[in-house]
A and B are shown apart, each in its own frame.
With several copies, the nearest count.
Chain A
């Protein structure tokens, strides 16, 4: 199946980021990384010139989950851990909308772990942004699945005795077709990464390192702006894959051997042990989306979508002809 071009609903006149702020006052803690992420989303939507009322923003439950209340677009604050099912269901029935999903690391990788895995298998064209702060913010600082074993942020009663997951490696293994990492206070990189994720046709994961000054004293903002010694020289903690010779983009998705090799390389990159944090696109491949595949097995969907096929006339009389369905039962 050939892959198609991404077509986003855009405006001739772009809306400004400030127009995308909702009226709801933000109630995150001062200094929280979440601010940066919501700003980046507003800027990305603005800069891409998206039609705001065609943007459907789904979020989970947690501090992060409140984001959908802060973007002036159709916003759905779902259930803890369930943001992906909501987003997938919405996109499948109406592919004309731009579907964004976001939530916490507890939400997405913890209770939502099963959906996280299986969403990779479908490749529905949505963008999923995870606020990775290593804790459960809104319930007061318990360990999230990205907290490393042995760590004990101040909010934990005992040191953490479970190993952490590597969300990037898992996402690549699970089948996500765009996997990137960014940082909430790197406004430019984050905005660009979100834009690239939206432009990617298929399921994109953007894992965003997000300081939680209230509960995560291990990795505050300062940690990210610190210099670290690498091979004897002082280097910024945060750097960009784009500045290295690593390139996670699959050039030809039809060459199965090459795709496989690249995938291993991407996973290896995600596991790379280093004091520094590499931001950027770890993996990107163009593949048929779930929507494409649906059309290939359900011809009635070609050139239309579930929400578009009519089923009643103006007088609200149902127009569905059941003859075909009746056939096997007639006696």
Chain B
């Protein structure tokens, strides 16, 4: 009996048919069983009908990436098997509905085990038992497909029950029963198929089971949202756009925290409302994706000029233009670094995994307020929409840093309004570049803001000497930030210090490459991974040092032009000789990362283009 510790499962179907909830149920079940899960979601820019799928990987140890082969493909309609059957490995399995799928017509390895399930029959039986119309029960198809998979993997019904309870809470608790009943029937069907218990990819039982409720099953969008909540974000503006809208709607639901989520008339209103609110003193952010990010260019420049601490989360998706609106890309790096006309400081952070999404969501406000400058978070769609089991976030080490905010001066006498009127040098020229800030409403600290060049008091000026002082002052903040931001928030080298090859990357590739390091090691290659997180101010010196000392360097990015490689070249002059790029909108898999490294090592390829995945 084959048991393994790492498996790859997929479920698919037309959009709107419940693929997402099936995947969530499956992931929850596996998590309840103590496994670690990583799931990636692929869907079209369509509401109903187009093919979508969820690809889940389950391991006995933490997992951060998907692999391309499928061990078990679970389907409940005709299209998924047609599209994905050829990806099932030898000895893998297919769960299908024999009334719509004819295995003999599929392009598929001959050794794939077949598990036909007559969905209609199960539903009909169930309907009879419960005395409900069968049409009302159609939705349990999803549960059946999941339960059948669990049976095959050797996961018990108790786990399914627990997972269903976690999923259907409060008003929805009534749904547990019927779904469980359907699940039971699916178990029976599977267990009636000959050889079901010798499935080659049956999972090894989890021996090192984490404490129940000690982990989170979460995606990057929610992780970032939670980070923002923890930071005290009280105003988030947005205009609906995939995939940024997920974070916004999630935050809107958190009514307990008093956060106002404002659906503005467009992204221009969003950024400028955010600027207005951030200036006023609320911790404020706005979230968007490429097309909306374009529209924020002018507002971001204004925040830079006026030293207003607005946080902007840009969820990157396939560009250019409307592009591949529901697909992955790391295509906005150069744009984010240069958005807005003229020179002004900005902080740009790119998160690499759930923990970074949470921490960066939190830190962004500290950076923005401490350095009084717009702070852009880059999160790619693969991270935003992927689900992962992770330990609960560490929170103890977190501190709020509001930077220099001053209250009323001592000279203020509430009895004498005139003492509340004096002007305040909000833009004082200081060595750090950071000036004390007062919030509107504070007596004795009246000042002006203007996108025009201005004096210390915020008064418009065109005087060359003030211009120079102010440009220099604003720029110094970035140098201060570069000095102060802890190095491990800037970049990190994963794997051995010395390696045959150093892989450079950013964003969602982090988990994939880290997982690939293990696989490479197993294949006899020592590789390490330089993960870059702080894009502005860019840690040029340290990065240069690491790259200069590396034996061989390569970069992996999910964009066409290898934008990070360009940034590194611009900042350090160093040319990374081997570029791996993926721009199909599908995230890189662990397998792809491994073979790209091997190709660079063995063939010395200068350019490797990846294209796995539908």
Tell which of A66, A74, A89, A94 touches B447, judged by Cβ atoms closer than 8 Å. A74
Distance from A33 Cβ to chain B, minimum over Cβ atoms (Å): 13
What 3 A-B pairs have minimum CB-CB distances, sorted nearest first? A311-B232, A89-B276, A89-B273
Within 8 A of B (CB), among A51-74: 51-54, 56, 58, 61, 63, 66, 68-69, 72-74
CA of A300 to CA of B254, assembled, Å:
10
Distance from A82 Cβ to chain B, minimum over Cβ atoms (Å): 4
Distance from B450 Cβ to chain A, minimum over Cβ atoms (Å): 4
CA of A263 to CA of B287, assembled, Å:
37
Contact A304 B265 (CB under 8 A): no
Contact B245 A139 (CB under 8 A): yes
Within 8 A of B (CB), among A301-327: 301, 304, 306-307, 309, 311-312, 315-318, 320, 322, 324-326
Tell which of B31, B265, B273 touches A86, judged by Cβ atoms closer than 8 Å. B273
Contact A331 B302 (CB under 8 A): no
CA of A317 to CA of B421, assembled, Å:
34
CA of A39 to CA of B117, assembled, Å:
40
CA of A224 to CA of B331, assembled, Å:
45
Q: A118-B264, A306-B235, A330-B217 are in contact. List 19 more A-B contacts (CB 8 A).
A: A24-B460, A28-B49, A29-B48, A51-B443, A52-B420, A53-B420, A53-B421, A56-B280, A74-B441, A77-B460, A82-B272, A88-B269, A157-B249, A307-B234, A311-B232, A311-B234, A326-B226, A329-B216, A331-B389
Interface string of B223-238 (1 = CB under 8 A from A): 0011001111011010
Stretch in contact with the other chain, from A11-19, A193-201, A248-256, A268-276? A11-19
Does chain A have a CB within 8 A of B607?
A: no
Contact A74 B48 (CB under 8 A): no
Contact A114 B266 (CB under 8 A): yes
Interface of A toward B, CB cutoff 8 Å: 11, 13-15, 19, 22-24, 27-30, 51-54, 56, 58, 61, 63, 66, 68-69, 72-82, 84-90, 92-94, 96-97, 106, 110-111, 113-115, 117-118, 136-140, 142-143, 145, 157-158, 214, 294, 297-301, 304, 306-307, 309, 311-312, 315-318, 320, 322, 324-326, 329-331
Does chain A have a CB within 8 A of B240?
A: yes
Distance from A295 Cβ to chain B, minimum over Cβ atoms (Å): 10
Contact A90 B279 (CB under 8 A): yes
Contact A331 B401 (CB under 8 A): no
State how many residues of chain B have any CB contact under 8 Å with chain A: 102
Contact A90 B265 (CB under 8 A): no
Distance from B31 Cβ to chain A, minimum over Cβ atoms (Å): 4
Does chain A have a CB within 8 A of B62?
A: no
Stretch in contact with the other chain, from B182-190, B192-200, B255-263? B255-263
Which residues of the partner chain A approach B249 to less than 8 Å between Cβ atoms? 142, 157
CA of A81 to CA of B266, assembled, Å:
9
Contact A93 B235 (CB under 8 A): yes
Contact B276 A85 (CB under 8 A): yes
Within 8 A of A (CB), among B305-349: 321-322
Residue among B45, B264, B277, B459 facing the most chain A CB atoms (10 A cut-off): B277
Contact B226 A322 (CB under 8 A): yes
Tell which of A78, A106, A110, A324 touches B256, judged by Cβ atoms closer than 8 Å. A324
Contact A53 B276 (CB under 8 A): no
Tell which of A78, A87, A306, A330 touches B260, judged by Cβ atoms closer than 8 Å. A306
Contact B459 A24 (CB under 8 A): yes
Distance from A121 Cβ to chain B, minimum over Cβ atoms (Å): 8
Contact A320 B449 (CB under 8 A): no
Contact A307 B418 (CB under 8 A): no
Q: List 9 A-B contacts (CB under 8 A).
A: A22-B423, A28-B47, A53-B440, A114-B269, A311-B400, A312-B400, A329-B216, A329-B217, A331-B166
CA of A166 to CA of B245, assembled, Å:
26
Interface string of B276-306 (1 = CB under 8 A from A): 1101111110000001000000110010000
Contact B47 A29 (CB under 8 A): yes
Residue among A82, A138, A145, A304 facing the most chain B CB atoms (10 A cut-off): A82
CA of A94 to CA of B283, assembled, Å:
12
Contact B282 A53 (CB under 8 A): no
Distance from B125 Cβ to chain A, minimum over Cβ atoms (Å): 27
Given contacts A94-B440, A214-B47, contact A110 B302 (CB under 8 A): no
CA of A15 to CA of B416, assembled, Å:
10
Interface string of B17-32 (1 = CB under 8 A from A): 0000000000010011
Contact A316 B401 (CB under 8 A): yes
Which residues of the partner chain A approach B273 to less than 8 Å between Cβ atoms? 85-86, 88-89, 92
Given contacts A52-B446, A89-B276, contact A139 B242 (CB under 8 A): yes
Interface string of B355-394 (1 = CB under 8 A from A): 0000000100000000000000000000000000100110
Distance from B132 Cβ to chain A, minimum over Cβ atoms (Å): 22
CA of A231 to CA of B273, assembled, Å:
46
Does chain A have a CB within 8 A of B399?
A: yes
Tell which of B44, B215, B272 touches A85, judged by Cβ atoms closer than 8 Å. B272
Given contacts A76-B448, A79-B322, contact A113 B265 (CB under 8 A): yes
Distance from A97 Cβ to chain B, minimum over Cβ atoms (Å): 5
Q: Which residue of A lies closest to B280 (CB)?
A: A90
Distance from B161 Cβ to chain A, minimum over Cβ atoms (Å): 14
Q: Which residue of B lies closest to A323 (CB)?
A: B256
Within 8 A of A (CB), among B446-460: 446-452, 458-460
Contact B280 A307 (CB under 8 A): yes
CA of A231 to CA of B434, assembled, Å:
66
Contact A331 B32 (CB under 8 A): yes
Contact B421 A325 (CB under 8 A): no
Contact A69 B448 (CB under 8 A): yes
Tell which of B28, B213, B255 touches A158, judged by Cβ atoms closer than 8 Å. B255
Residue among A81, A93, A330 facing the most chain B CB atoms (10 A cut-off): A93
CA of A316 to CA of B232, assembled, Å:
11
Contact A72 B421 (CB under 8 A): yes
CA of A145 to CA of B218, assembled, Å:
32
Contact A53 B442 (CB under 8 A): yes
Which residues of the partner chain A approach B32 to less than 8 Å between Cβ atoms? 331
Given contacts A76-B449, A298-B255, A301-B260, contact A329 B222 (CB under 8 A): yes
Does chain A have a CB within 8 A of B351?
A: no
Which residues of the partner chain B approach A11 to less than 8 Å between Cβ atoms? 417
Which residues of the partner chain B approach A24 to less than 8 Å between Cβ atoms? 459-460
Contact B265 A331 (CB under 8 A): no
Distance from A136 Cβ to chain B, minimum over Cβ atoms (Å): 5
Within 8 A of A (CB), among B395-434: 395, 398-402, 416-418, 420-421, 423
Distance from B270 Cβ to chain A, minimum over Cβ atoms (Å): 8
Contact B421 A19 (CB under 8 A): yes
Which residues of the partner chain B approach A13 to less than 8 Å between Cβ atoms? 416-417
Residue among B44, B226, B253, B451 facing the most chain A CB atoms (10 A cut-off): B451
Tell which of B49, B216, B252, B263 touches A331, judged by Cβ atoms closer than 8 Å. B216
Q: Which residue of A lies closest to B242 (CB)?
A: A139
Which residues of the partner chain A approach B281 to less than 8 Å between Cβ atoms? 93-94, 307
Given contacts A94-B282, A329-B222, contact A85 B255 (CB under 8 A): no
Contact A15 B16 (CB under 8 A): no
Contact A311 B449 (CB under 8 A): no
Distance from A201 Cβ to chain B, minimum over Cβ atoms (Å): 19
Tell which of A27, A58, A76, A114 touches B265, judged by Cβ atoms closer than 8 Å. A114
CA of A143 to CA of B241, assembled, Å:
13
Distance from B46 Cβ to chain A, minimum over Cβ atoms (Å): 5
Which residues of the partner chain A approach B302 to less than 8 Å between Cβ atoms? 78-79
Distance from B364 Cβ to chain A, minimum over Cβ atoms (Å): 14
Given contacts A77-B451, A136-B240, A320-B232, contact A89 B274 (CB under 8 A): yes
Does chain A have a CB within 8 A of B444?
A: yes
Which residues of the partner chain B approach A79 to less than 8 Å between Cβ atoms? 272, 291, 298-299, 302, 321-322, 451
Which residues of the partner chain B approach A311 to less than 8 Å between Cβ atoms? 231-232, 234, 283, 400
Which residues of the partner chain A approach B485 to less than 8 Å between Cβ atoms? none
Does chain A have a CB within 8 A of B106?
A: no
CA of A51 to CA of B443, assembled, Å:
9
Residue among A14, A118, A140, A322 facing the most chain B CB atoms (10 A cut-off): A322
Contact A76 B276 (CB under 8 A): yes
CA of A317 to CA of B298, assembled, Å:
34
